[in-house]
Amino acid sequence: MLGSGSKGNATLVATQRTRLLIDAGFSKRETYARLEAVGERTDDFDALVISHEHTDHISGLRALALDLNVPVYISPATRDAICWDPRLRACELFAPGEKFSIGDIEITPFSVPHDAADPVAFTLDAEGIRIGLVTDLGCIPELVKRHVRGCHCLTFESNHDLEMLKIGPYPWYVKQRVMSRHGHLSNRTTGEFLSEDFDGTAQVLILAHLSQINNHPELARMSAEEALGRRPRRTPLELHLASQSAPTPVFQF
């Protein structure tokens, strides 16, 4: 993950044959700088794949798509919610629930409850490995639980500490939006998922989209570790936290 949070989101997923950028929430310059920081090339991408139209997921979309000269994979409703640049002619439309492939990566977009036009999360399958990218959702319906089963690497939102949000500086209407079923997941809700519904397959679990104002990395970590410790059968995994300011390590499978 090149970065995750309210100021920008982008994730590199690559095989020997295919390189994808999932979301484009950083400027072209910042995206390239972060790729270089983890020893990755800034060219030879096959596509950009967009989850939804909020600025922290698309602010670099136009510049990156034009510079990389790659198609943009996006749902029709999300494309219509963006002030679309007519120069971006290479646009491939997908529908939630319908699988599609880019190179040797099979991608499954699935709907998540969030206050956007047609928000989706993704699982990506290649070479017997499944990756899940699940952020920007206010609750965890059965559809989401079903799709993330069998992931070897799972990125999952742990956005806010509920008490920090309640006493924090946000206006009340923003607090209501964040806490709603179409807002963002709290540490508590993510912890409940990890202790009760997480299948334990993942070798790597990445907590993502942490609020810089209404959360603290150690609170998110402790909540997840306590939840995983309550599982009747514990399986070892690497627990990481995605940051707004720097990329995660490169995870290889």
Q: What is the pLDDT of residues 118-149, one digit of tens each?
A: 999 999 999 999 999 999 999 999 999 999 99
Q: What is the pLDDT of residue 234?
A: 67
pLDDT tier at 201, thresholds 50, 70, 90: very high
Q: What is the pLDDT of residue 89?
A: 87
Q: What angle do CA 152, 49, 150 make, to 5 degrees?
A: 15
Percent of the chain with pLDDT over 90: 96
Other C-beta atoms lying within 10 Å of the C-beta of residue 173: 8
Residue 227 has pLDDT above 80, yes or no: yes
Domain locations in the chain?
11-241
> What's the pTM?
0.96
Q: What is the pLDDT of residue 232?
A: 78
Q: What is the pLDDT of residue 142?
A: 98
Coil vs helix vs strand at 12: strand
Residue 168 has pLDDT above 70, yes or no: yes
Q: What angle do CA 140, 145, 146 make, to 5 degrees?
A: 145
Work out the average pLDDT over 67-75: 97
The answer to whether 243 touches 37, Cβ cutoff 8 Å, is no
pLDDT tier at 236, thresholds 50, 70, 90: confident
Q: What is the pLDDT of residue 152?
A: 96
Q: What is the pLDDT of residue 195?
A: 95
Q: Would you tell me which CATH number, out of the four given (3.60.15.10, 3.30.1490.190, 3.40.50.20, 3.30.70.1070), belongs to the domain 11-241?
A: 3.60.15.10
Residue 24 has pLDDT above 80, yes or no: yes
pLDDT tier at 231, thresholds 50, 70, 90: confident
Cα dihedral 47, 51, 55, 61 in deg (nearest 10): 10
Work out the average pLDDT over 176-204: 96
pLDDT tens digits, one per residue of 36-63:
999 999 999 999 999 999 999 999 999 9
